[in-house]
Amino acid sequence: MNLRSFALFLLVAAPAVAGAQTKVTLRPTPKPQQTLHVMTTQEFSINMDPGPTAPGVQVLNKVVFDFTQSNGSFDDQDRMESQLVIDRIEVEEVLNGTKKTPDDAAKFVGQSLTAVFNRAGKLLNIKVPKSLEQSSARLRTPIATAYGALSNFPATPLAVGETATVPWDIPVRLPGSTAQAPYKVQAVITLRAIEKRGQDRIARFDQRIEAPSEPDQLKVAGTGTVDLNLDRGFVEATATEWTITGSYRPKGSPADAQPSNVRATLKMTMTAKE
């Protein structure tokens, strides 16, 4: 797995959490027949410096992806399908200072996909029509990222000021590591406040991702915030930033090859409104 693939997984996996006043349940049920307008921005940058013997590499990839979500109803298996219509998609790529022109993304505007959720709001599946199968990964990643905030919410309620630590397995081997998958981290989640806005309660969370520090692998750390509308059953906003640092020797390199110094940053924001 290369660094960009791992970073895309982190985007999908990049999580956050939600919470409580005295004590509140963290995973509100999505509302049937609800319509949401979701706006996301995802940005990945990486700088690889192999030292004086080879040129460095600088990559920037930015994706803006907006869509409208129209919820259906829950079936007898407690699953709900939602239609997702793509409203906007823009892609920017820069390699070593040179801007690249990606494939025309405008052709996806107006296309529809189907997301499947359970009663805890967790994304179970994304169904892509046959006409878009060749672009499946390109479309699934930003959608899965938008719903990643609910992927590792604690099962137990929290009160304001309380913190929960949630074990989390990333089911891939971290590039540069000799350890096998899954890669184990933990999410430290704090319920910072619950604010009243009209008839709605908005829970605001801070999140910190901690990972083991080993000399043979890249190091991963992350922070983020999440705003959860407890009464309307959806995440209103997330902001997440991951950093990947350390030395990296690509697979298949000679044993005496000089490793590259790596620093990568992964940022994601999402906002949603009815």
What would the pLDDT profile of 90-134 be if each residue is shown by its tens digit? 988 888 888 886 667 888 999 999 999 998 888 899 999 988 888
Contact (CB, 8 A) for 31 and 233: yes
Q: Does domain 3-273 have CATH number 2.30.230?
A: yes
- For the chain, the residue count is 274
pLDDT tens for residues 159-194? 999 998 887 655 445 554 555 555 677 888 899 999
Domain ranges of the chain: 3-273
Q: Are 15 and 187 in contact (CB under 8 A)?
A: yes
Identify the CA nearest to 164 among candidates 176, 180, 152.
152
Judged by average pLDDT, the poorest of 116-125, 242-251, 258-267 is 242-251
Which of the pair, 34 or 54, is modelled with greater confidence?
Answer: 34
**Mean pLDDT for all residues in the chain:** 80
* Token digits of residue 44: 């990945």
- Sort strands 35-49 and 57-74 into parallel, antiparallel or unpaired: antiparallel
Residue 20 has pLDDT above 50, yes or no: no
SS3 108: helix
What was the pLDDT predicted at 114? 96
Pull the structure tokens for residue 256: 């005496």
Rounded Cα gap, residues 252 and 245, in angstroms: 21
| Locus of tokens 């920037």 | 60
* 213 pLDDT above the threshold of 70: no
What is the per-residue pLDDT across 47-59, written as a single tens digit (0 to 9) for each?
A: 878 777 667 788 8
Strands 163-170 and 200-210: unpaired
C-alpha span between 163 and 155 (Å, rounded) = 13
Rounded mean pLDDT, 76-96: 93
**Of 185, 179, 183, 186, residue with least CA distance to 171:** 183
Measured N-to-C along each axis, helices 3-13 and 136-146 cross at an angle, to the nearest 10 degrees, of: 40
| pLDDT score recorded for residue 191 | 92
Q: What are the φ and ψ backbone dihedral angles of 231, each rounded to 5 degrees?
A: -90, -30
Distance of CA 223 to the CA centre of its chain: 12
Q: Which of 1-10, 98-107, 119-128, 204-213 has the highest mean pLDDT?
A: 119-128
Supply the pLDDT for residue 39.
Answer: 95
